[in-house]
Amino acid sequence: MMPRLSMNTTFLEACKGRRTSHVPVWFMRQAGRYLPEYQRVRSPYSFLELCKRPDLCVEVSLQPVDILHVDAAILFSDILIPMEAMGLELEFSEGKGPVFPNPVRDYRAAAALRIPDPEEDMPFVLETIRLLREALAVPLIGFSGAPFTLATYIIEGGSSRNFLHTKKMMYQEPALFQEILRKISDCTVRYLAAQVRAGAQVLQLFDTWAGALAPPDYTAFALPWVRAVLAGLRQQTDVPLIYFANNGATLLPETSRLDADVLGIDWRTPLEMAINAVNQAENPKAVQGNLDPLALFLPEKQLAERVTALLDAGQQAKGYIFNLGHGIIPETDPAQVKRVVDIVHSYQGTQP
């Protein structure tokens, strides 16, 4: 694999709140089922098999960089890989998504959770990162799920609509719930720190299900562990840290004060409102987001107007990175995604 030349650092600069020559753009789930190129690589393998093949993970991680010309690559993996490494059986089922056949719902199951060694237990992830750094001319983002989000999967046994088992445990057995999150947090810090040592240049913490919590419950049960992960990483690395709380409009008073460099914003929150909240914090941070993924189905003129409006709003942030408010869905036309990249890159505004 030949190394690529002249690193594009606009994404890194925006993460740090610095002025950039253009607004950087990347997309959550930018490597995935909407790309025919991805489907060709993926088709002979199960999803977990793909995640554990560094050569294939490198190939699909590079595809959106080469096809779309985005300003950052994100490691191709899954947020639940570390949960399997903690000793849990993990399956991916077509139509059902991730399944943990033996959910963690009592002290015995919690005690059995181990804190994995990333080099020994998830070497395929770290090898993917090392190989990607040799090939990329844009920064590489490593990632993990946030503790609350990961806990929901292993307590529920998979995805959930109402998080019955998770919230019952939170309310009725809070000590058990906190012990599970403590172990997940320890695992997450070690895993992300290992990603940096392997070559990741930015880290994103995905809190996909944070918005399922009422603000007081988020503050009591989830926020302390987000803080613990960020603090643990600050002790070991100086790479930019991104925190993304999906459906997190009501959580902005707390998340805007986190010790992260960038706050990801979902599409349910007006970008101006989010930036205003972030700018009022003691240490303003950069903002990332927040086009509705389904807006990629808009006609070309309306799509351009929607994207430009976000770019205009982003000029008020300390730093601004264009992204979606969540991941690209499989039915999306890749030409529409490329159209957004071109609009962002041709935008005449610059970072303040």
All structural domains of the chain with their residue ranges = 10-346
Helix (H) / strand (E) element for 145: namely strand 140-145
Residue 116 one-letter amino acid = P
Q: Tell me if residue 153 is catalytic.
A: yes
Q: Tell me if residue 108 is catalytic.
A: no
Q: What is the pLDDT of residue 197?
A: 98
Tell me how far apart the alpha carbons of residues 118 and 272 are, in angstroms, rounded to a whole number.
39
How is residue 142 annotated by DSSP? E
Q: Exposed e or buried b for every residue in 51-76, given b needs 16+ CB within 10 A? A: bbbbebbbbbbbbbbebbebbbbbbb
Residue 98 one-letter amino acid = P
Q: What is the pLDDT of residue 184?
A: 98
Q: Tell me if residue 78 is catalytic.
A: yes
Please identify which of the residues 34, 53, 71, 78 carries the catalytic annotation: 78
Query: At 191, phi and psi to the nearest 5?
Result: -65, -45
Q: Tell me if residue 182 is catalytic.
A: no
**Contact in structure between 139 and 132 (CB atoms under 8 Å):** no
Contacts for 139 with CB less than 8 Å, ≥ 6 apart: 7, 8, 9, 11, 12, 71, 72, 73, 201, 202
User: Which of the following CATH numbers is that of domain 10-346: 3.40.1080.10, 3.20.20.210, 1.10.3720.10, 3.40.50.2000?
Assistant: 3.20.20.210
Report which of 317, 312, 308 is spatially closest to residue 340, judged by C-alpha positions.
308
Q: Which residues pair with 323 in a beta bridge?
A: 290
Please identify which of the residues 34, 38, 153, 320 carries the catalytic annotation: 153
Cis peptide leading into residue 290 (ω within 30°): yes
Can you give the three-state secondary structure of 290-337, one letter per residue?
EECHHHHHCCHHHHHHHHHHHHHHHCCCCCEEEEECCCCCCCCCHHHH
> pTM to 2 decimals?
0.96
**Contact in structure between 206 and 144 (CB atoms under 8 Å):** yes
Residue 326 one-letter amino acid = H
Please identify which of the residues 18, 42, 197, 268 carries the catalytic annotation: 42
How is residue 293 annotated by DSSP? G
Q: Tell me if residue 133 is catalytic.
A: no
How is residue 141 annotated by DSSP? E
pLDDT by 10s per residue, the chain, length 352 = 444 557 899 999 999 999 899 999 999 999 999 999 999 999 999 999 999 999 999 999 999 999 999 999 999 999 999 999 999 999 998 777 899 999 999 999 999 999 999 999 999 999 999 999 999 999 999 999 999 999 999 999 999 999 999 999 999 999 999 999 999 999 999 999 999 999 999 999 999 999 999 999 999 999 999 999 999 999 999 999 999 999 999 999 999 999 999 999 999 999 999 999 999 988 899 999 999 999 999 999 999 999 999 999 999 999 999 999 999 999 999 999 999 999 999 998 644 4
Q: What is the pLDDT of residue 3?
A: 45
